[in-house]
Structure 1
């Protein structure tokens, strides 16, 4: 096979918290490279290497990035080998991280590695390798010790080219032409070759783990120390359960969870997790235009020019030269005119002369004060030709100043930089740009500024029963018109963000996976509705964990409505090839639940990505306008109308029936009342907090 096989691309993933902190401690990577070079028959190129901590999310994230489907003509990773984390120590979690990612199992490769190892030592049975195929890539897990990793890889490396070619889509009929003997001959195998391979291979599992747990932290780092040679050392305690937690759809409905495996988080804890996991906002350069209103400034802006840039009159009147006495009463010749227009040839003004001047016009050189036109009387005129029309007009030739008061220098003058001095801080970073902000920037001639890049958000609805509302036909039994997507698209646009309409996705894993991948590549946040509960067709959580290699940070929230709200992060390769992590919010399918949880959880994430502070809805204290029943077990976000009463209080009244499927409960609502759980109703006149989703109204009654 070596003469026919193209060069295959391999990636090595070292799983070791110790090596992640200090790469110089890793010896396995160099050892595995030597196996590919010396035993790989010149068929391999190690194209990628990476070191990650003993953490399931980090392992899954890196493997997912390497094994995502690539466009035709681009290089695919044919083989991923991991080393480390396959023993019995508390922190050894590589098999648990890799198994959910595999689309096809490869027990034969596992058997080959274990058989070769068991020929050397019975402790090989303490190793826990897994192998299989994800998309077009073969994945195998090796022990952490360089010696054990080398001998396990040597046991299977001659068969791996054949496996990789098949996984990459090669024609099986062509590959198998000539029979098994030919395949063995081309691979340098056969019964004798296999026996020799087993004779010099033994399994030596030695894993180092460094594990630190922060509970529901976004990166879920864990901390403990363990060395495994088939047994544990020390008194170690398992701190976290392994992903995935969701149903495996391939096992059928009888094997699904009967109750949610996700812990019930409080709303505050859920919001805290979101804040930790949302990526930092990115920045971009933008031209100063009215379109920037609502965007957030990412850098301080300083005045690069004073405003005004010249001494200007703040009234219509006459520019004068105030004598030392300050007395100006008398008749003066009008020797020039200064209008609020571009001018570079103003004649100097001398004491005893005046110049007619309009508001905003520059003062002639020498002038040091302006007398208002109301304090003067026209004495004489002269005929002259209008500069624009060419018509003959009467022009002022002398004017009497009537003021008996002392005229002070600087009166009625806007000095240079009196509005905006040069180099002063004009707008600080994190300013939410308003129309006045655009005016300020324009006044100093700022052409472009640095802003936080506005996030984009993709919206999709899930469910075979969902029908696009634009279809002009009667519904069949069981069908439901999609109102969530239009509602959320409208809400996002109203808030000043850019929504992308992905449409409706059927309850099929492959369809959902493909659609989510596309949405993740083209947006910062993906927002789904439906498919997050406990039904056999609720596929969002399994798809995120098992197909996308993502991590679900919470899958239930202690609230009403919206208990099954889901928040996850997924490793993604963008269309430009850069690697990053994107966010998925899975909102409930019931209309009221979807909109309430959007305002409560998605809006703060959008604000954080956009650089807007404070994040989320504004909160105000309100007085209950009537008795409100409480849910006995869960805090409720009650849809309500808040008005400003005649005595200045904020008065809250319910929109009525609060059933989560009743979209009408949000119609007219401008607030969500934060109601505690409890056995009895809250009485009229009691105070609660309200989150404002709309403008306050006045009580005109």
Structure 2
């Protein structure tokens, strides 16, 4: 058995970011940027009004109130072509271009419109003018590669005059569940059969992490069928299997796919749950073999599949990092395997939240995983810990 950190490093060494593709800026939310985005325009391109009001010369406001001659109006998008001379005012609106001669906007609520003139009661020279380039200037890099784009990022890219963006294509992940004993939800259950959750959960995780799941279905414990279904992963960036990776006579992943050219990198990790995890390459496609127990499968997916998907998209695989909490109840000493304990989190009076494990941690109990907020990490040979002691946790946000 190899340590968890070594297993992760060996897995990630097989992945590089996928190629980029052009998408419309309106379709780029939640995609990972593959190239820096520099502004193609200056925003605003010229000085504009920040409020509805009147464009005036600041030098006319030395004594207030003052009555100025009205010379017209300039709605946003229709700049005034003349010049504001001393003693004059131009009616304008939010976003209107500041005309030549003016350097100040006085608010409409601080003025009295007299028809052919305006009486200014309050105003400060230089106020309510947005300078050219206040937001950004042409050539300024506003978004850098390796960023998962938010709605706000899309708004900025559009404002910088980019109709298209180069983003990483979505990684394609083939998912193959195995076992005679599992059937899809809603199908009739035969003697000794259970409902399969792994394939659907992994597909949801892949989508949540920005990938495209390719569901290959459920392979029975039959070598020919397993081999045929596994070939459906050709052209994908990763093949994920669940079940069939242990040591039983019907655990066929290594033997069947080995005959098809599977090059095994490692098998078995010193962790709980998830010991029988395997990794290798089936031709050009990396293969991540997850355990069949549903909790083991999802815990291993959180620890190994998510970082691989992040690496494929050009993101830091170490993000989000582990967090810290304090124990809500004592824990016994640990054995030689790194333990990941399902736990709840609640706020405390201190700086760290309180993590409390569920009493039973059986790897088949999905209800406990669904109710958990985090996994408490217990290193190999960790000594007994008392309530209140700090521990590392893996938050389950998004899992």
Shared fold (TM-score greater than 0.5)?
A: yes
8 Å Cα contact 2:36/2:141 also seen in 1:
yes
What is the CA–CA distance in structure 2 between the aligned matches of 1:588 and 1:499, rounded to whole Å? 18
Q: Find the counterpart in structure 1 of residue 264 from structure 2.
A: 552
Q: Find the counterpart in structure 2 of residue 399 from structure 1.
A: 118
Structure 2, unaligned runs of 5 or more? none
SS at match of 2:152: helix
Quote how far apart the aligned CAs of 1:344 are: 5.0
8 Å Cα contact 1:630/1:636 also seen in 2:
no
Quote how far apart the aligned CAs of 1:668 are: 1.2
Q: Find the counterpart in structure 2 of residue 294 from structure 1.
A: 30
**Structure with higher helix content:** 1
Quote how far apart the aligned CAs of 1:431 are: 2.0
CA deviation map 1:608-644 (0-9, x unaligned): 0011224354311110000123442311011111222
Q: Map of 1:9-408 to 2, 5 A cutoff?
A: 264-289=1-26, 291-323=27-59, 326-327=62-63, 329-340=65-76, 342-343=77-78, 346-378=81-113, 380=114, 396-403=115-122, 407-408=124-125
SS at match of 1:544: helix
Quote how far apart the aligned CAs of 1:497 are: 2.8
Size of the alignment, in residue pairs? 398
**Structure with higher strand content:** 2
TM-score, scaled to structure 1: 0.54
What is the CA–CA distance in structure 2 between the aligned matches of 1:526 and 1:322, rounded to whole Å? 69
SS at match of 1:445: coil
8 Å Cα contact 2:233/2:285 also seen in 1:
no
What is the CA–CA distance in structure 1 between the aligned matches of 2:57 and 2:64, rounded to whole Å? 9
Quote how far apart the aligned CAs of 1:345 are: 5.4
Does 1:427 pair with 2:143? Answer: yes
8 Å Cα contact 1:274/1:605 also seen in 2:
yes
8 Å Cα contact 1:600/1:617 also seen in 2:
no
8 Å Cα contact 1:283/1:450 also seen in 2:
yes
CA deviation map 1:642-664 (0-9, x unaligned): 22224442110113311112222
Change (3 A) 1:495 1:643: farther
What is the CA–CA distance in structure 1 between the aligned matches of 2:233 and 2:142, rounded to whole Å? 39
Q: Find the counterpart in structure 1 of residue 239 from structure 2.
A: 526
Quote how far apart the aligned CAs of 1:329 are: 4.0
CA deviation map 1:261-281 (0-9, x unaligned): xxx110000011011111332
SS at match of 2:305: helix
CA deviation map 1:270-299 (0-9, x unaligned): 01101111133221122101x322222111
8 Å Cα contact 1:655/1:668 also seen in 2:
no
Q: Give the RMSD, CA atoms, in angstroms.
A: 2.1
TM-score, scaled to structure 2: 0.93
What is the CA–CA distance in structure 1 between the aligned matches of 2:43 and 2:382, rounded to whole Å? 64
8 Å Cα contact 1:484/1:591 also seen in 2:
yes
8 Å Cα contact 1:641/1:670 also seen in 2:
yes
Q: Larger RCO: Structure 1 or Structure 2 (Cα < 8 Å, ≥ 6 residues apart)?
A: 2
What is the CA–CA distance in structure 2 between the aligned matches of 1:630 and 1:598, rounded to whole Å? 26
Structure 1, unaligned runs of 5 or more? 1-263, 381-395, 572-580, 696-701
8 Å Cα contact 2:4/2:270 also seen in 1:
yes
What is the CA–CA distance in structure 2 between the aligned matches of 1:616 and 1:492, rounded to whole Å? 16
8 Å Cα contact 1:600/1:616 also seen in 2:
no
8 Å Cα contact 2:73/2:80 also seen in 1:
no
